[in-house]
Structure 1
């Protein structure tokens, strides 16, 4: 389970943020660690657009949701475990909106 600090996936301060891809898109782990979720900013909250149980599917389809993805972001997301259920971080740091500064929490 994630740190109980904030388990509301649509919140800015959600504790399961893995990487901020653009100012309006990010990748999070669901609160039960079953899925990687690509979210986009919709008004005041983040909305899940695609849900993946595997890293391979996330990487293969991320561009369909957020458009062009910088190579640095793809490299960082490639460090995720093969299956969302194997994600072990208790709190992923919020990354800066700049792709060059993205960080992925060690799993």
Structure 2
């Protein structure tokens, strides 16, 4: 534990620089080549590039919790749905959790790699499902694929 009262101002500044550099990168000091800007930085509008290197997940509308997520496999009802994760490794049984930013948001409740596991999760969490959803579920492959 440090007692700051026993440190000189110079010692204190050195200690803060070392701590900050260790956890946050180097701080500005008179020894650096790039001084801070003399005027405040003004916010700028940034246009999104449709050719983004981050792919479709960079789009806020295509996140797993988004109501318009592109890898939705089936909607069981207004409260439950099944999606494929972005990496194509698993099905995710999601429950609608309300609204986020004025739009419906979804929360993952079960994560399954096999159709058997997905059926079990739906039975445990959702209960009985309509026959048309059961037939859609039967058409899924035995293991998840994107």
User: TM-score by structure 2 length?
Assistant: 0.53
Q: How does 1:31-50 map to 2 (within 5 A)?
A: 31-44=86-99, 45-50=105-110
Which residue of the partner structure matches residue 62 of structure 1? 122
Q: In 1, distance between residues paired with 2:131 and 2:83?
A: 19
**Aligned-residue CA RMSD (Å):** 1.6
Runs of 4+ in 1 over 2 A off after TM superposition: 3-7
Bigger-Rg structure (1/2): 2
What stretches of structure 1 of length at least 5 have no aligned partner? Answer: 89-107
SS in 1 for 2:76: strand
Say which structure, 1 or 2, has more relative contact order (CA 8 Å, 6+ apart).
1
1:42 is displaced (CA, Å) by 0.3
Higher helix share: 2
Q: Find the counterpart in structure 1 of residue 84 from structure 2.
A: 29
Larger relative strand fraction: 1
Q: How many equivalent residue pairs?
A: 84
